[in-house]
């Protein structure tokens, strides 16, 4: 199955739990520097954008722990439909692998 992870910057609070969960899942330690997801922050505008690195294997572990469901794992077909329904220029952003 082709998988897609949808990143919703409008929902993200910048808590960075996802970075901790990924580093623990992949490297056995809480170390954001070893995470395959990074949260980019623009403090001035209060905007947070979670971004997947190329090492991400779409295991979905981080999506289980995001407190506001700003990252979610889907079948790629479903993600494409969700993107089509969203307005141009708005999130969510789907990353697809499979
Ligand atoms: S994606 Fe979720 S877990 Fe990651 S920083 Fe945003 S709100 Fe927190
Ligand atoms: S889906 Fe990607 S970013 Fe999330 S825990 Fe798995 S490898 Fe890390």
Domains, the chain, ranges and CATH? Answer: 3-97 (3.30.70.20)
**Ligand 2 shell residues, CB under 6 Å:** 22, 25-26, 36-37, 52, 56-62
* pLDDT of amino acid 22: 98
- Taking CA atoms only, the protein residue closest to ligand 2 atom 7 is 56
Q: Any idea of the CA torsion for 27, 32, 34, 37, to the nearest 10 degrees?
A: 100
- Looking at 1-98, list the stretches that DSSP marks H as alpha helix, in order from N- to C-terminal side: 17-27, 61-65, 76-85
* pLDDT of amino acid 84: 74
* pLDDT of amino acid 56: 95
pTM above 0.85, yes or no: yes
Q: Which bound ligand lies closest to the C-alpha atom of 13?
A: 1
* pLDDT of amino acid 18: 98
* pLDDT of amino acid 37: 97
Q: From the first residue on, what is the mean pLDDT of each consecutive set of 10 residues in the chain (98 residues)?
A: 87 96 98 97 90 94 96 86 66 59
């Amino acid at each position: 199955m082709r998988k897609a992870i949808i990143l919703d910057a409008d929902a993200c609070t910048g808590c960075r739990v996802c970075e901790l969960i990924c580093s623990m899942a992949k490297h056995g330690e809480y170390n954001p520097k070893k995470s395959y997801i990074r949260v980019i922050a623009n403090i001035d505008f209060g905007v947070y954008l979670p971004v997947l690195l190329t090492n991400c294997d779409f295991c979905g572990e981080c999506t289980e722990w995001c407190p506001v469901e700003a990252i979610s794992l889907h079948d790629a077909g479903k993600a494409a439909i969700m993107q089509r329904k969203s307005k141009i220029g708005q999130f969510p952003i789907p990353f697809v692998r499979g």
